[in-house]
Amino acid sequence: NAGVTQTPKFQVLKTGQSMTLQCAQDMNHNSMYWYRQDPGMGLRLIYYSASEGTTDKGEVPNGYNVSRLNKREFSLRLESAAPSQTSVYFCASSEAVGTSGSALYNEQFFGPGTRLTVL
Partner 1 sequence: AQKVTQAQTEISVVEKEDVTLDCVYETRDTTYYLFWYKQPPSGELVFLIRRNSFDEQNEISGRYSWNFQKSTSSFNFTITASQVVDSAVYFCALNQAGTALIFGKGTTLSVSS
CB of 80 to partner 1, least distance (A): 26
CB of 98 to partner 1, least distance (A): 7
Tell the smallest beta-carbon distance from residue 104 to partner 1 (Å).
6
Nearer to partner 1, 82 or 97 (CB): 97
Residues that bind partner 1 (CB under 8 A): 31, 33, 35, 40-45, 48, 56, 58, 88, 90, 92, 98, 100-110, 112-113
Give the contacts of 5 (CB within 8 A, at least 6 positions apart).
23, 24, 25, 111, 112
